[in-house]
Amino acid sequence: MEFVPAPAVHRVLCADCGTPIVPNSANLCVPCLRNTVDITEGIPKQASISFCRNCERFLSPPQAWALARPESQELLAICLKKLKGLNRVRLTEAHFIWTEPHSKRLRVSMTIQKEVLTNTVLEQIFEIEYLVQHGQCPDCAKLAAKNTWKALVQVRQKVPHKRTFLFLEQLILKHGAQKDTIAVKEVRDGLDFFYSARNHAIKMVEFLAGVVPIKSKGSEQLLSTDTHTGTSNYKFTYSVEISIICKDDLVCIPLKQAKSLSNINPLTVCIRVGSSMQMLDPTTLQSVDIPATIYWRAPFDALASVTDLVEFTVLDIEPSGPTRGKLVLAEAQVALSGAFRSSKATEDDGMLDHETMGVANQIYHTRTHLGAILQPGDTVMGYHLTNANYNSDDYALLPSSRIPDIILVRKAYPNRRKKSKSRNWQLRTIAKEAGEEGETGKERGLVGRMGGRDQKKVEQDYELFLRELEEDPEMRGAVNLYKAKDDVNMSGPGVVASGKGKKKTQFAMDVDAGAEEEEAAAAETDDDAEEEPDFPEVKLDELLEHFDEMTLGDNVEPQEE
């Protein structure tokens, strides 16, 4: 085998330092070439970037304000756009160098390449420092100067409770629909959302149409007109009305409309509310979806709401076979909660007389859709229709054979409710007004800031909303739950900490006192009362990390022109 030597590499001396190098067009080594040619020439080593502290947005050239997190790709793109001269070189890598959050400095390391001589490409790494300058974006400047809004969304629901708006607040937060809102104002029967641009208001109306059944109407008001250019300045107002039918409401659909909806039984229960309403006949498991467009052609009211629910005890239950998803039809025997007490105990309490005891101890037979979750001895909430009197012509036209004595709606957990437990989770709020009359801390956010005579009622609705979230896993899946820094008392509003030294609202203390009395009374009658084993606990993997409270601007109420 013949040995072939490798070709010799000819080297020359560097023209500056005399180091042996491979020949190139400049006859210079790399360090001498860098000293001779600076490829970063024309690129500034220091620059500034504008940041709005109110809305936490950065100024992105030319005049757009964008939301970007620290050391994110979006913020890096904004920093690179601020540099001049990058178009003359090739950028191969860029990343942030960590700095103290309070230093108001951003450091970016960049790697660039450029052809300096024929077939000679030079690469260099250098650092650029950005000074974060605090300022105000035009939207926040208008708000700070009490400049008027340009678009308004008026959301209304004529119901006596606030549970719909409490749930709607969580949906808005989960989907980030509040990011363009400059102010929120609570009014009677609803909320007002203020925007600086018309398209932001239209976007909110479209979001509301996707989560609740609404009807909307828009109007405009002429503010000024420029006769020379033919331009006009308008205010836009969008009126949004939410259906008064809520989850677990008892509904009597008009007979003519019920026939057009798959001939469903007019007496139904609303089991889900979204862009459409799902009605269920508990006696047959027949259900129907009523879209918002169909509902608003001939709207109807609810016969009863969750405040009219009565507590029953399940004596016996036997599934009858038909199923529909998670729903199982069953024959149930129920009695009013607390029935079959000893007559001596009830007389001593002064609760029932002999005539009323006969009704209270009565056993009712009914059909229910809760056959999959109910067991003998469970507590269930339902509507008692035996002696009910509803002001509805459609209900009066129903034959008595189609009206059951009891309609069961959902399972209840009374032992869990009576015991003073603590919540390890809490909800986020859109806005907060501190120091307002009636405010004692962090109790209310978007809903309930009015204070005064409605404050206690709002807190009751908020507590019912929190319990409904605990007992309904499907409803919890639609909102974001966050880990609480301190345990939160179950008897009060969900953002009031129950740790040592924390204050509570009067409503929370009243409920705690009532819970202690109920627990003491229950201990006398049943010492072995335990928590329900099938209570749907809020698991740790359902919770997000704790958040910092969020406010909308400076919570400045918009001024009328």
| CA distances for 260 relative to 102, 176, 439, angstroms | 65, 38, 50
Strand order in the sheet with 379-384: 363-368, 327-336, 310-324, 379-384, 406-412
Comparing 86-90, 153-157, 247-251, 268-272, the range with the smallest average pLDDT is 86-90
- Region 137-150: mean pLDDT is 72
Going by C-beta distance under 8 Å and a sequence separation of 6 or more, which residues neighbour residue 163? Answer: 246, 461, 464, 465, 468
- Region 528-541: mean pLDDT is 68
Average pLDDT, the chain: 78
Global model pTM greater than 0.75: no
H/E run at residue 209: helix 198-211
Beta bridge partners of 184: 193
Angle, CA 68 vertex, CA 62 and CA 70 arms, to 5°: 125
* Beta carbons within 10 angstroms of residue 419's beta carbon: 16
Q: What is residue 69's predicted lDDT score, i.e. its pLDDT?
A: 86
Residue of 560, 551, 549, 561 lying closest to 182 (CA atoms): 551
- Region 149-154: mean pLDDT is 90
In 391-459, the DSSP E strands lie at 406-412, 422-426
Half-sphere exposure of 294 (CA within 13 A, CB side): 13
Answer whether 235's CB lies under 8 Å from 150's CB: yes
Quick one: how far is CA 333 from the chain centroid? 39
Calculate helix-pair angle for 506-525, 455-471, nearest 10 degrees: 50
Binned at pLDDT 50, 70 and 90, residue 552 comes out as low
* Beta carbons within 10 angstroms of residue 304's beta carbon: 19
Q: How far apart (Å, rounded) are the C-alpha atoms in residues 130 and 99?
A: 11
Binned at pLDDT 50, 70 and 90, residue 556 comes out as very low
- Region 155-177: mean pLDDT is 89
Between these two residues, 561 and 228, which has the higher pLDDT value?
Answer: 228
pLDDT tens digits for 103-133? 889 999 989 888 877 677 788 888 999 999 8
Structure tokens at 265: 């039984």
Q: What is residue 498's predicted lDDT score, i.e. its pLDDT?
A: 31
Residue of 148, 127, 150, 130 lying closest to 59 (CA atoms): 130
Q: How far apart (Å, rounded) are the C-alpha atoms in residues 34 and 402?
A: 93
